[in-house]
Structure 1
Amino acid sequence: MMTLAACAVLSMLVWLVLAGGHGMFWRTDTRLDTHDSGATGAAEQPGGWPAITMIVPARDEAEMLPKTLPTLLGQDYPGQLRVVLVDDSSDDGTGDVARAIGRATGTGTGTGNTLTVVAGQARPAGWAGKVWAMEQGVRAAPPDAEWLLFTDADIAHGPHAVTRLVSHATRRGLDLTSLMAVLRTSNRWERLVIPAFVYFFAQLYPFRRANRPTARTSAAAGGCVLLRRAALERAGGIAAIRGAVIDDCSLARAVKRSGGRIWLGLADHGPGGVRSVRPYPGLADLWKMISRSAYTQLRHSPVLLAGTVAGLALTYLLPPLAAVVWLAGLVTGAGAGGTATVIAGVAGLGAWAIMTATYVPMLRYYRQPVWTAVALPAVAFLYLLMTVDSAVAHWRGRGAAWKGRAYSAVNSDGVTGT
């Protein structure tokens, strides 16, 4: 019990530090500027609205495109906007679906936003699949495109999204502006796992810290990344991250290292927002999505894996355990126990309460019942198992796998595949 008490006290101290510092990771108010209304009549930017090219890497996304591609082509952006979709060796007719949507929306007629569908070329050695598709999109972007907006094929953009992004980036002098898209929470597993996914991401990469030019932390969300073309070239181009499995954070790191200013925030739910339409029908689908890159994030290091498992156990699992042991003794009539039991119970309850309080803002952001915040330790246990499963897959030679591609090697950036 003395060991349990000591660990519970340590856990509570950790949570006090996390809640009071650590970039205030639990807050959900890092958003686009409220005065960047993105309305059709938005104020003209100094020098005019810059030309934008949206780049969409798409591999076997025929099902998603009818829900997302029209939202890109329907942007009310006041400047010139082109969409380049790279069909990344799809087997489901992704390119044909994209071209049909383009014809249906009247693109390519010399008016409005335009669509170009690029047939992806064979992937060179040393390049990750998505990153190679991004590179081909950059090559296909017209020379006059001052900004590139990388987005995924499962991401829908509100009609004012691009205008708000450009206004925010130019107003603040940013080189890279990224939004964490609002993910689906339509079924019970999505409602349980998705808010925690974003919460844990923010804990790993505190937005406020990543947005400080002097901080070492760099992060972006690959579903929506607006990037100044000159900044990309200064960072060495897409080739600088050619092997990255976790391409978004690697790109943000490269831009920041080269002197660029980056910014990451949460997307709004309104017409200027960005949301994912990809469904995750069951736990197995979410498990695959998370575990595919979890061990890559740990740089395939057994030491970092052990530290992560121990850290999750100490901060998320031990507090409710200590609290339940103490409360069970009180309920069953066994008494409060010795001093160590009381200390463990009180500290465990305190840590659990702080943990719960920090999770409430994310649940509110996702419009979920706040009382479910008490279940965060159970969700953390799921994430622990997913992380271990990711490591086991790597040790068995499967590595990170997605849409028929497997990645296992690690380069100097720690996140490349083969």
Structure 2
Amino acid sequence: MLPATGPPFGQTATVDALMWTAVGSLAAWLWLLLGQGFFWRTDVRLPRGDAPGPGGGAPAGSGDAAGTAGGAPGGEECWPSVAVVVPARDEAAVLPMSLPSLLAQDYPGPVEIFLVDDGSTDGTGKLARALAEEHGGPPLTVDSPGEPPPGWTGKLWAVRHGMTLAAARPDTEYLLLTDADIAHEPDSLRELVRAARGSGLDVVSQMARLRVVTVWERLIVPAFVYFFAQLYPFRWVNRAGARTAAAAGGCVLLRREAAERARVPEAIRHAVIDDVALARAVKRSGGRIWLGLADRVDSVRPYPRLGELWRMVSRSAYAQLRHQPLLLVAAVAGLALVYLVPPAALGAGLVEGRPGLWAAGGGAWALMAATYVPMLRYYRQTLWLAPLLPVTALLYLLMTVDSAVRHCQGRGAAWKGRTYARPGAAP
């Protein structure tokens, strides 16, 4: 009697490897679901603090004894002075939708706006002055710092100039760093200051709701925020003593004293991902930071085509990996395992009639889609986009690889006519 024959050893090894990879992907999703700071939840919103206390004192329960210039007598509220710094480079297309929202802020305390024209060639500065004349509101100063010196990114050089202008007003307690494409509801500044003073925070940052109109924006933009929250879970960011630190550069309320203590922006002058670098610097210096999703702060910048979204992601993706080839390999492998293996395992299991394989792949894919649903709801998008997350992840994988290639070719971190070297290569 002849012995029973089975599949060749190589084929068995391949089958087992595929099965174990699918199980590994499922295990990764179980960990992400429960062990990564509940990153997929979208309920981290601006804390509701008390209004500033009477006579220049701190809000009740804050423990902040610093006085505020311009205090009101008796029991009236006294709101701290705020300087709004807006770095702008060739922003004439979006400024009419964003700057009027700053000029219309319903803020009870002193506020002044400093728009720093970073070498614009489209009349950004002139347009800003015209909008201020048309809409009125807080005083607006438009100035230009000139070209950034070696070792500085253009945005941070502009921010430094705006902070220097604000420093001429010694009573300034808070700085609102906001991008030129960000529109604020009238109560935005008031609620940011209320949260900062009421909770004793040095940084309060809101992830602005990005524009989602075109097909490509719907496919890529919600995933951008989802992936960001996966890298920097908001609950970990907001936990005192935790190492995780991040901010969203479009809307950052920064206590001036904390900025000076952390040497911001000088200490991060070369950072391409400047918002995360700022949060890290403040947290390392002993400051308290908070990051969450915004309800009334929106980006008005359109990204109608894939190429524009591609450039937006690829300009900083390799910088996120610290320009390290090994981290690039690890990131590509991780994206493949977590996002691409589940649908591949499901398909292979169905074709080959292997219940264990398709169950592992289908389970991982289901968990992936389920964690994406809250972000789609936050962006008011159809839930049918949830199963397409592997397609979006594949695009992000290719953007990351393209970012590394561009950096190797000397074209990395290119933005609006400037290209920045990696920090180790910068003068």
Fold shared per TM-score above 0.5: yes
Structure 2: give runs of 5+ residues left out of the alignment.
1-14, 53-57, 61-66, 68-77
Q: Are the counterparts in 2 of residues 245 and 417 from structure 1 also a CA contact under 8 Å?
A: no
Q: Are the counterparts in 2 of residues 36 and 164 from structure 1 also a CA contact under 8 Å?
A: no
Q: Are the counterparts in 1 of residues 151 and 269 from structure 2 also a CA contact under 8 Å?
A: yes
Counterpart amino acid of residue 22 in structure 2: A
Alignment of 1:288-327 (within 5 A): 288-327=311-350
Q: Distance in 1 between matches of 2:243 and 2:285?
A: 12
Q: Are the counterparts in 2 of residues 410 and 417 from structure 1 also a CA contact under 8 Å?
A: yes
**Structure 1 position 103, deviation (Å):** 1.1
Q: Distance in 2 between matches of 1:124 and 1:8?
A: 50
Identity over aligned residues, as a percent?
Answer: 60
Equivalent of residue 417 in structure 2, options 375, 397, 404: 404
Distance 1:36 1:5, change over 3 A: farther
Matched, 1:350 2:363: yes
Matched, 1:157 2:187: no
Distance 1:158 1:377, change over 3 A: same
Counterpart amino acid of residue 223 in structure 1: G
1:92 alignment counterpart: 122
2:372 alignment counterpart: 359
Q: Distance in 2 between matches of 1:346 and 1:237?
A: 50
Q: Distance in 1 between matches of 2:422 and 2:335?
A: 26
Q: Distance in 2 between matches of 1:73 and 1:177?
A: 21
Matched, 1:77 2:102: no
Distance 1:417 1:249, change over 3 A: farther
Q: Are the counterparts in 1 of residues 48 and 195 from structure 2 also a CA contact under 8 Å?
A: no
Query: Any runs of at least 4 consecutive aligned residues in structure 1 with deviations exceeding 3 A, and if so which?
Result: 34-38, 44-47
Secondary structure at the aligned position of 1:146 is classed as: strand
Counterpart amino acid of residue 131 in structure 2: I
Matched, 1:225 2:248: no
Structure 1: give runs of 5+ residues left out of the alignment.
39-43, 107-111, 330-335
Q: Are the counterparts in 2 of residues 299 and 410 from structure 1 also a CA contact under 8 Å?
A: no
1:246 alignment counterpart: 273
Counterpart amino acid of residue 46 in structure 2: L
Counterpart amino acid of residue 314 in structure 2: S
**Structure 1 position 184, deviation (Å):** 0.3
Q: Distance in 2 between matches of 1:51 and 1:22?
A: 38
Secondary structure at the aligned position of 1:399 is classed as: coil
Alignment of 1:321-400 (within 5 A): 321-329=344-352, 336=353, 341-400=354-413
1:41 alignment counterpart: none
Distance 1:351 1:209, change over 3 A: same
- Per-residue deviation, residues 368-415 of structure 1 (Å, max 9, x unmatched): 11122000001000000000000011111112100000012224xxxx
Distance 1:37 1:309, change over 3 A: farther
Q: Distance in 2 between matches of 1:22 and 1:210?
A: 12
**Structure 1 position 214, deviation (Å):** 1.2
- Work out the number of aligned pairs and report it: 390
Matched, 1:204 2:217: no
Please tell me the root mean square deviation across aligned C-alpha atoms, in Å. Answer: 1.6
**Structure 1 position 122, deviation (Å):** 2.7
Counterpart amino acid of residue 182 in structure 1: R
Q: Are the counterparts in 2 of residues 406 and 417 from structure 1 also a CA contact under 8 Å?
A: no
Equivalent of residue 282 in structure 2, options 241, 244, 255: 255
- Per-residue deviation, residues 302-336 of structure 1 (Å, max 9, x unmatched): 1000000000000000011000112234xxxxxx2
Matched, 1:264 2:302: no
Secondary structure at the aligned position of 1:53 is classed as: strand
Structure number with larger C-alpha Rg: 2
**Structure 1 position 67, deviation (Å):** 0.6
Counterpart amino acid of residue 176 in structure 1: V
Q: Distance in 1 between matches of 2:264 and 2:282?
A: 9
**Structure 1 position 213, deviation (Å):** 1.6
**Structure 1 position 36, deviation (Å):** 7.3
Distance 1:139 1:95, change over 3 A: same
Q: Are the counterparts in 1 of residues 342 and 362 from structure 2 also a CA contact under 8 Å?
A: yes
Q: Are the counterparts in 1 of residues 49 and 199 from structure 2 also a CA contact under 8 Å?
A: no
Secondary structure at the aligned position of 1:3 is classed as: helix
Q: Distance in 2 between matches of 1:253 and 1:245?
A: 14
Counterpart amino acid of residue 301 in structure 1: Q
Q: Are the counterparts in 2 of residues 70 and 105 from structure 1 also a CA contact under 8 Å?
A: yes
Matched, 1:55 2:78: no
1:129 alignment counterpart: 154
Q: Are the counterparts in 2 of residues 179 and 220 from structure 1 also a CA contact under 8 Å?
A: yes
Q: Distance in 2 between matches of 1:146 and 1:45?
A: 14
Q: Distance in 2 between matches of 1:292 and 1:36?
A: 40
Q: Distance in 2 between matches of 1:119 and 1:286?
A: 28
**Taking CA–CA contacts closer than 8 Å with sequence separation of 6 or more, which of the two structures ends up with the larger relative contact order?**
1
Q: Distance in 1 between matches of 2:206 and 2:33?
A: 23
Q: Distance in 1 between matches of 2:29 and 2:426?
A: 35
Q: Distance in 2 between matches of 1:37 and 1:76?
A: 14
**Structure 1 position 114, deviation (Å):** 1.3
**Structure 1 position 45, deviation (Å):** 4.8
Q: Distance in 1 between matches of 2:51 and 2:360?
A: 46
Q: Distance in 1 between matches of 2:304 and 2:317?
A: 21
**Structure 1 position 237, deviation (Å):** 2.8
Taking structure 1 as the reference length, what is the TM-score of the superposition?
0.91
